[in-house]
Chain A
Amino acid sequence: MSADYLVVGHFKFVDDTLEAIRRVKSQGLGHDDLELYSPVPNHDLEDEVYKGKPRSPVRLFTLFGGLAGLSLAFLMTIWMSLDYPVRVSAKPIVSIPAFVVIAFECTILLGGIFTLLGLLHNCRLPWIFPTPGYRPNFSKDTFGLVVRVTKDKSETIRAEMQSCGAEQVEVQYAR
């Protein structure tokens, strides 16, 4: 049977949400089956959901962008200085100390742009499709735990959430 149902739990308190995550996971459900919405990032909740997940890959985008900016800037300044040399009283045509300034700025520029791209790519933004399970109060003052389950498991998960102190639990079809 395919996991076509979503159980959406609304929680007002962090400790209730933590307990609910533990109980949901104890039912054999993994990280990929649940989504936690919160108005603010909370490290305790994230640690409970993730348990051993690697660090965000955004840092690789930043590194790539920074290195690209550095190398492209030196490439640009050196090549352009040789292509159109401004001859001033035996001063070097390729003046690395001066080009360091441009390279530094371009490192930050491309590092920043690629960090943005990394963020958008990993967060799947912009997302124009409806997100089943998301509720507007999850950006206000409510934590939302959305679990994707099969129909026969939905009642069990619903009962677990309610026993953890959920303000409201909804069961809906995922699609």
Chain B
Amino acid sequence: MSAPETLTYEKVDKDILATIEPPGIGWYLLILTAVCVLSVGAYAWIGQILHGIGRSGKNNPVMWGFYITNFVFWVGIAHSGTLISAVLFLFRAKWRMPIYRIAEAMTVFAVATAGLFPIIHLGRPWNFYWLLPYPNQRYLWVNFKSPLLWDVFAVSTYLTVSVIFFSIGLIPDIAAARDRATGVRKIVYSALALGWKGSHRQWRHYGAAYGFFAALATPLVLSVHSVVSWDFAMSNVPGWHTTIFPPYFVAGAIFSGLGMVITITIPLRKAFKLEPYLTTWHYEKMAQLIIFTSGIVTLAYATEFFIAWYSNNTYERYQFWYRAFGYYAWAFWLMIFCNCVVPITFWWKKLRTNLTWLFICSIFINIGMWFERFNIIVQSLSREYIPSAWGNYHVSWTDLGITFGAFGWFFFLLIGFIKFFPSMALTEIKEILDPPVRQEHGH
């Protein structure tokens, strides 16, 4: 099914470029709110830099807490955007058209948010560049056998390729905005459009490049979150050292990202009056993908428990008993409810096409997936091998402030983006319309 038949190239152009008209009071209020939330995080982080990492809650034995939870959460969010824009492009899924631009924007901004956390969680964040293999006066190189180093390459590659893929997709749309803009906007859009004219020669190379980018970004969806999962799986911590982590993390990432796409697009669609372009049919497709990925995540949880029991390994068995019935059991059951129970409601068509219900569930999914990472990290570290080394995690205000501030940073970037660039792929929506043919118009 393509977009409704009453749409023409002119109407699509007008509707989508209307979203980047000079903003009203609502947008200013939103961005101000985002800046306030971001400031809370900035204040917390500055305090941590000045007074030391002791300001955060992480300590022996839970030496990774909220910050790495947030890192994995945001990288996971990013993956769904790449799945929608690159993987579904290769599968020629038409339902991706109205959402892929905002999904890609979500990817870029989520990776930009995630990339802050490996720096935030350092005791000496000013030394973060030591992770990179640069020649130095100590004659040393980095340890390429460490998953933390693989992460540096994976996340940097993901950020770079996502930004490039995003920018390339934007070029024809910015050119359309350039041709309709006046004044300073025209100058800025002209510079950003790079002189794109949409000639047949350019479209030929563009089509080829876009296809190759989609083909390059697809293995990134699989590899980057696998590499992130190896931060845990390559250790020998009970509950971490398991080969299920790569597919479990990748499926979970897509699941959480879809939740975030729904959270973002439902209000956006209403605010910009984009209902003709983003219909309940599109949301139904997303809901079906959520059912699928939720199923994989539920199966992964069950598999972890089964293997822990089947292995007869004391430490693994205890870890999973502790997850369900220990100190953080509330977090575990919250995760199960949000990730496994809530998506079951999408089996009913009436619910999966109800946008209010979808929005509410998407919030639950985001919460559930955040807690999944919290459970994996904090629960496993709090109860490792030797009981005398056991300890709980004590959340600090700095942890909370930075977590909160990261959401502010993400939404600040996103709200800024939607006002200055087309949040729907103008050119690709025109592409899925039936091309204008004279015979049909009876002239």
- A pairs with B: yes
Complex CA distance for A42 and B436, rounded to whole angstroms: 11
Known: A80-B144, A112-B164. A38 touches B203 (CB 8 A): yes
Complex CA distance for A122 and B156, rounded to whole angstroms: 27
Does B213 reach chain A (CB closer than 8 Å)? Answer: yes
| B427 surroundings in chain A (CB, below 8 A) | 39-40
Known: A58-B212, A106-B157, A140-B10. A123 touches B202 (CB 8 A): yes
Complex CA distance for A120 and B242, rounded to whole angstroms: 44
Q: Which of A22-30, A93-101, A147-155 contacts B (4 or more CB under 8 A)?
A: A93-101
How far, in Å, is A109 (CB) from chain B's closest CB?
A: 4
How far, in Å, is B89 (CB) from chain A's closest CB?
A: 14
Does A173 reach chain B (CB closer than 8 Å)? Answer: no
Contacting pair A46 B203 (CB below 8 A) = yes
Contacting pair A59 B436 (CB below 8 A) = no
Does A125 reach chain B (CB closer than 8 Å)? Answer: yes
Interface residues as binary, A91-132 with B (CB distance below 8 Å gives 1, 0 otherwise):
100010011011011101101110110111011111111010
Contacting pair A39 B195 (CB below 8 A) = no
Does B311 reach chain A (CB closer than 8 Å)? Answer: no
How far, in Å, is B80 (CB) from chain A's closest CB?
A: 18
Interface residues as binary, B131-163 with A (CB distance below 8 Å gives 1, 0 otherwise):
001000001111111000110011011001100
How far, in Å, is B382 (CB) from chain A's closest CB?
A: 28
Contact size range, B? 35 or more
Interface residues as binary, B213-242 with A (CB distance below 8 Å gives 1, 0 otherwise):
100110110011001001000000000000
Contacting pair A115 B438 (CB below 8 A) = no
Interface residues as binary, A24-48 with B (CB distance below 8 Å gives 1, 0 otherwise):
0000000000011111111011100
Which residue of B has the minimal Cβ distance to A14? B435
| B436 surroundings in chain A (CB, below 8 A) | 12-14, 141
Q: Which of B100-108, B175-183, B292-300, B366-374 contacts A (4 or more CB under 8 A)?
A: B175-183
Does B50 reach chain A (CB closer than 8 Å)? Answer: no
Contacting pair B195 A128 (CB below 8 A) = yes
Does A16 reach chain B (CB closer than 8 Å)? Answer: yes
| A105 surroundings in chain B (CB, below 8 A) | 150, 153-154, 157, 223-224, 227
Complex CA distance for A124 and B194, rounded to whole angstroms: 9
Does B441 reach chain A (CB closer than 8 Å)? Answer: yes
Interface residues as binary, A75-86 with B (CB distance below 8 Å gives 1, 0 otherwise):
011001101101
How far, in Å, is B277 (CB) from chain A's closest CB?
A: 15
Contacting pair A127 B203 (CB below 8 A) = no
Among B196, B198, B205, B207, point to the contact of A38 (Cβ < 8 A). B198
Contacting pair A39 B198 (CB below 8 A) = yes
Complex CA distance for A20 and B256, rounded to whole angstroms: 50
Contacting pair A122 B205 (CB below 8 A) = yes
Contacting pair A109 B208 (CB below 8 A) = no
Contacting pair A41 B154 (CB below 8 A) = no
Does B197 reach chain A (CB closer than 8 Å)? Answer: yes
Among A41, A80, A111, point to the contact of B216 (Cβ < 8 A). A111
Contacting pair A140 B180 (CB below 8 A) = yes
Interface residues as binary, A143-175 with B (CB distance below 8 Å gives 1, 0 otherwise):
000000000000000000000010000000000
13 contacts between A and B (CB under 8 A): A15-B437, A15-B438, A38-B200, A41-B431, A58-B209, A91-B145, A101-B150, A109-B161, A118-B205, A120-B194, A124-B195, A139-B197, A141-B9
Residues of B within 8 A of A (CB): 8-10, 13, 133, 139-145, 149-150, 153-154, 156-157, 160-161, 164-165, 168, 171-172, 175-176, 178-180, 194-209, 212-213, 216-217, 219-220, 223-224, 227, 230, 427-428, 430-431, 435-439, 441, 443
Q: A41-B207, A81-B144, A105-B150 are in contact. List 18 more A-B contacts (CB 8 A).
A: A16-B438, A53-B204, A55-B208, A58-B205, A95-B145, A98-B144, A98-B150, A101-B150, A102-B144, A102-B153, A104-B219, A104-B223, A105-B223, A109-B160, A119-B205, A119-B209, A124-B195, A165-B443
Q: 10 nearest interchain CB pairs?
A: A127-B195, A136-B179, A141-B9, A56-B208, A80-B141, A119-B209, A126-B194, A41-B203, A13-B438, A36-B200
